[in-house]
Structure 1
Amino acid sequence: MRRRTLQTLLATSGAAAMLALTPFTAQAAPHSGGNYGAYGFEGQYPTVGGCAGSFRQVGPTKTADGMSLKYFYSDRCGSFARIENSRANCAAVLERSNSGAARADGWVSETVDAGINYAYTKIGNNLSGRVSRALLACDGHALASTNWY
């Protein structure tokens, strides 16, 4: 997979572009934008009561530079993104389209915490006709993405 430039990100992905403009810190930090938080379960981690244990991986694991990107879905709660074997300055990103048109209307991201090599996002509600996808972004570049589900 080729690396995208910031200009390409600005043209194709609001979440990844906003992430490129968000400073990274040593501690994990959730960020969100667009209309993220407009639907049930958004703003909560997948371990929240009623959702914990209901997620399954959908689609293949994507890889870039030895790092992994996974997309998880629950027909009860929605979806979240997870990255593994990640280096510093990387984030798991979940984009959500409220129209089902595979165009991000809302997004949430989570950076890798100091001392660990993984991160996962809060839930994105892609139920009732909405869709979402996961991205692995490092240093402002989307290195890998899943399909829209």
Structure 2
Amino acid sequence: MSRRSLRTLLAAGGAAAVLALLPASAVAAPYSGGNYGAYSMEGQYPTISSCSGTFRQVGGTKYADGMALKYFYSDKCGSFARIENSRSNCAAVLERSNNGTGRADGWVSETVDPGINYAYTKIGNNLNGRVSRAMLTCDGHIMATTAWY
């Protein structure tokens, strides 16, 4: 697929559409699209020292086929998605809306690394009126999603 058609797909369909383009074998890698990276903390993992220990799980754990999806939030840093007990070809996805409407305009995902069964995304900045949600996707399909927070 050419760069131009991939950009068109991302603009038209967002995170869910690009999931079908992820590699068939699970190799841990972050992907992002839309205007992800436009706000502070985006592009950083939640383990950075300034954010470490500030996150708490919000909402209940969502399950699909024995896999778990969790959403974490910090009023200092933003949010991230984590999947656990995952099979290969799955990804944790965090969608972020810049105006609080619950319509994704930026997203980041992380695939499951070979040999482990979890993944977590980089931070999405859902502070100052922005909202985000987490998704568990496998083989290009949304398996579970959280509410917008």
**TM-score normalized by structure 2?**
0.90
CA apart distance, 1:16 = 1.5
Aligned-residue CA RMSD (Å): 1.5
The answer to whether structure 1 residue 94 and structure 2 residue 91 are counterparts is: no
- Identical amino acids, percent of aligned pairs: 78
1:34-64, CA deviations, whole angstroms, 9 ceiling, x for partnerless residues?
A: 0000000000000112100100000000000
Which residue in 1 is equivalent to 2:141?
Answer: 141
Which residue in 1 is equivalent to 2:85?
Answer: 85
SS of residue paired to 2:122: coil
Q: Distance in 2 between matches of 1:26 and 1:92?
A: 12
**TM-score normalized by structure 1?**
0.90
Letter of the 1:66 partner, please give it: G
Which residue in 2 is equivalent to 1:65?
Answer: 65
CA apart distance, 1:27 = 2.1
Q: Distance in 1 between matches of 2:38 and 2:86?
A: 30
CA apart distance, 1:13 = 6.1
Q: Distance in 1 between matches of 2:35 and 2:23?
A: 21
Q: Distance in 2 between matches of 1:76 and 1:66?
A: 32
Letter of the 2:76 partner, please give it: R
1:69-122, CA deviations, whole angstroms, 9 ceiling, x for partnerless residues?
A: 000000000000000000000000000000111000000000000000000000
SS of residue paired to 2:18: helix
Structure 1: gaps of 5 or more residues = 1-9
Kindly tell me the number of residue pairs found equivalent between the two proteins. 139
Q: Distance in 2 between matches of 1:111 and 1:63?
A: 17
Contact 1:13 1:104 in 2 (8 A): no
Query: Cα 1:13–1:53, aligned 2, differ >3 Å: closer, same or farther?
Result: farther
Contact 1:45 1:121 in 2 (8 A): yes
Q: Distance in 2 between matches of 1:90 and 1:13?
A: 19
Superposition map of 1:1-149 within 5 A: 14-149=14-149
Letter of the 1:124 partner, please give it: G
SS of residue paired to 1:16: helix
Which residue in 1 is equivalent to 2:3?
Answer: none
CA apart distance, 1:23 = 2.1
